[in-house]
Amino acid sequence: MKLEKAGALGARILVVDDERNIRDVVEYALAREGYAVTLATNGVEALDRIASGGIDLVVLDILMPEMDGLAVCRKIRETSALPIIFLSSRSEEIDRVLGLDLGSDDYVAKPFSPRELVSRVKSVLRRASGRGAASGDDRKYACGDVELNLTRHEVAVRGKKVEMTATEFGVLCALLEHPGRVLSRAQLVDRAYRHDNVITERTIDTHVRRIRAKLRPFNVDPIETVHGVGYKARDPDTI
């Protein structure tokens, strides 16, 4: 079932879960907030929905028939930085880290509060639009050949665009915004998400690792690890 009328917030959310009661609960909670909701019961169906276009964020269960959520996330990340929130009963730390390593923006464990899930959706969409990363949307930050453009919410290396998730963009923005300043993991959470502190200190390392992996083909690394403290933007002459 689809709710065809776009809500006041103008965003369409794809909810993917093989349990009907979960789909119903999530759909109701999101629709109440004005979101348009599209539903899928498995991974294959979800990819078809995404290929049709018009999806702004995916709430994605991990354990599903046909194709599980991790495989769906891998497939999406081959071509897109579409925001993804994992929703799963598998709440062990290794599963959370694996989901983040694959490129998800957040992870909500079952059983969950619909209100909390809606809050996470709002937060990730806000970051994806660039409103949560920094003030002053006309600003750009650069470190050597790496340039972050807040107006277009893009990262580029020597003019070539590099796809970043909303979370990765926020972390990189926080570092480039304060060149040479060492930021602890707690400070990165605070500075990257001034109003949306839904990620934790222990996931910062995962996001930094993904940022570096995406920039590695260009032989650049604008982030320096300060062991025992946190991270800082490198001296441009050393990247």
Q: Which residues of the chain have pLDDT under 50?
A: 1-8, 131-137, 195, 197
Spatial distance between the Cα atoms of 179 and 222, rounded to a whole number of angstroms: 10
Cβ proximity of 133 and 145 under 8 Å: no
CA distances from 90 to 26, 61, 97, 98, 109 (A): 18, 10, 12, 11, 7
Spatial distance between the Cα atoms of 91 and 63, rounded to a whole number of angstroms: 12
Q: Which residues of 123-142 are buried (b: 16+ CB within 10 A; e: fewer)?
A: bbbbbbebebbbeeeeeebe
pLDDT for the residue 134: 43
Cβ proximity of 58 and 85 under 8 Å: yes
pLDDT for the residue 125: 87
Set out the domains of the chain in order of their start, with CATH numbers: 12-128 (3.40.50.2300), 140-238 (1.10.10.10)
Torsion of CA 57, 202, 100, 218, to 10 degrees: 100
Task: Please choose, from the candidates 177, 184, 175, the residue with its C-alpha nearest in 3D space to the C-alpha of residue 226.
Answer: 184
pLDDT for the residue 111: 87
pLDDT for the residue 1: 38
Cβ proximity of 163 and 76 under 8 Å: no
pLDDT for the residue 37: 97
Spatial distance between the Cα atoms of 216 and 134, rounded to a whole number of angstroms: 25
Cβ atoms within 10 Å of 211's Cβ, excluding its own: 24
The pTM of this model reads 0.66
Residue type, 146: V
pLDDT for the residue 91: 56
Dihedral of alpha carbons 85, 87, 88, 89, sign: positive
Angle ∠(195,229,146) on CA atoms, nearest 5: 70
3-class secondary structure, 66: coil
**From edge to edge, which strands make up the β-sheet containing 160-162?**
140-143, 146-149, 154-157, 160-162
Task: Please choose, from the candidates 144, 16, 164, 36, the residue with its C-alpha nearest in 3D space to the C-alpha of residue 88.
Answer: 16
